[in-house]
Amino acid sequence: MLADYQKFKARFPTLFPKDPECGFWLPIGWEKLVWELCKELETFISENDIKDFQTVQVKEKFNGLRFYISTSNNEIRKIIDEYESLSYKICAYCGSQKINECDCCK
């Protein structure tokens, strides 16, 4: 099951000013994780007056989150890298932090 892209687009218009060019394929288990990532990015972008931000793609790859954007700097990359790393500790299907122990991962 996938997270609802329209919910993200409605809540975070500065991150999703137009539909991602390469798609939004977010497993439901990571919805809360990516929601927190978007909140942190939105705050950083607002506080630093960053223009022309665009999320290009959100997906799972090699069992981890990938969040691709059009504009980046070291601080933005650090924020995204942190959440991408956290995704390896959370089940993409159910959101459990006991990965490999939940029913989805057995």
Please state the domain extents for the chain: 5-87
Q: What is the pLDDT of residues 95-104, one digit of tens each?
A: 888 776 777 7
DSSP class per residue in 30-88: GHHHHHHHHHHHHHHHHHTT--S--EEEEEEETTEEEEEESS--HHHHHHHHHHHHHHT
Measure the CA–CA gap between 8 and 5, rounded to whole angstroms: 5
| Residue 59 one-letter amino acid | K
Q: What is the pLDDT of residues 20-71, one digit of tens each?
A: 878 999 999 999 999 999 999 999 999 999 988 999 999 999 989 999 999 8
Closest-CA residue to 1 (of 57, 60, 68, 56)? 60
